[in-house]
Homo-oligomer: A and B are copies of this chain.
Amino acid sequence: MTILDSETKAVETPDDHGDELRLWLRLLTCTTMIESEIRSRLRERFEVTLPRFDLMAQLDKTPDGMTLSDVSKRMMVSNGNVTGLVERLVESGHVDRRTSSTDRRVQVIRLTRQGRAEFRKMAAEHERWIAEIFGDLGSKDVADLMKLLAKTKASAKKAVTARMA
């Protein structure tokens, strides 16, 4: 996102919110850097994309299966993208797709046994990567960050609610 130069800020916003802006940019930088590192490792180590990994993670949490529209909602991607992802996972034998027993218009997708086994191998490694990425933080740092980010999340939620009101 944006980095304003100091001149702009001085001219345009007499009340200074530079600290919050710098905080937001740092938060964004951290997240982007970590996400891109995870993306690279998934590709290099498992030849898997992040959306594919995320979809398998969703399915791993719901052994009874999910409908395509559930998946779209959870993953915040468009239906079209989800359909393509699922198609490829079915082709590679990681996911199976059945007609719902209660509504014949609905398809339910689930991890296959092979899909689940492969996902769990990746997930275990993913967890070790995360531990490595945050490796220089002590347990007090982690606890402090958790608290401050909880406060941030609550504060942001208030702003979202205020806009919608």
Chain A interface (Cβ < 8 Å from any Cβ of B):
1-5, 8-9, 11-13, 17-24, 26-31, 33-35, 37-38, 40-41, 44, 50, 53-54, 57, 60-61, 120-121, 123-124, 126-137, 139, 141-142, 144-146, 148-160, 162-163
Cβ of A129 to closest chain B Cβ, rounded Å:
7
Q: Can you identify 24 A-B contacts, CB atoms within 8 angstroms?
A: A1-B35, A12-B121, A13-B128, A17-B131, A18-B127, A19-B142, A20-B133, A21-B131, A23-B145, A24-B34, A26-B153, A27-B27, A27-B145, A27-B149, A28-B35, A33-B156, A37-B156, A44-B163, A129-B159, A133-B159, A136-B158, A141-B148, A145-B145, A145-B149
